[in-house]
Amino acid sequence: MENVLHYPQLDSILMVEKIIQETKDYPTRMELWKSLPKKMQYQTFKLILNYLEKSNKIIFDEDKIVWIFPNNKKLNELIQGAVSI
């Protein structure tokens, strides 16, 4: 494990979650990090994304971040519009 200089606080985690859920498009890591209303170290930001991925709240589709936690309106619309095989 890498040497962590700063662990995220709960308010920072919730801020990142909220922004991912509310975005219209699926952002890249850098787009999301630059759009945060409160700046944080990139290492801390990566720890938050790692936590969200391990807790099955997000996935990475190529370089885009997709919110997959239950009650995701965008994901549900995509699933409903998908063709069954």
Q: Spell out the residues 6+ positions from residue 83 whose beta carbon is closer than 8 angstroms to its own.
A: none
Q: Which fold has domain 10-81?
A: Arc Repressor Mutant, subunit A (1.10.10)
pLDDT tens per residue across span 11-32: 999 999 999 988 888 999 999 9
Instruction: Specify the pTM.
Output: 0.78
- The per-residue pLDDT for 85 is 77
Residue 67 CA from chain centroid, whole number: 6
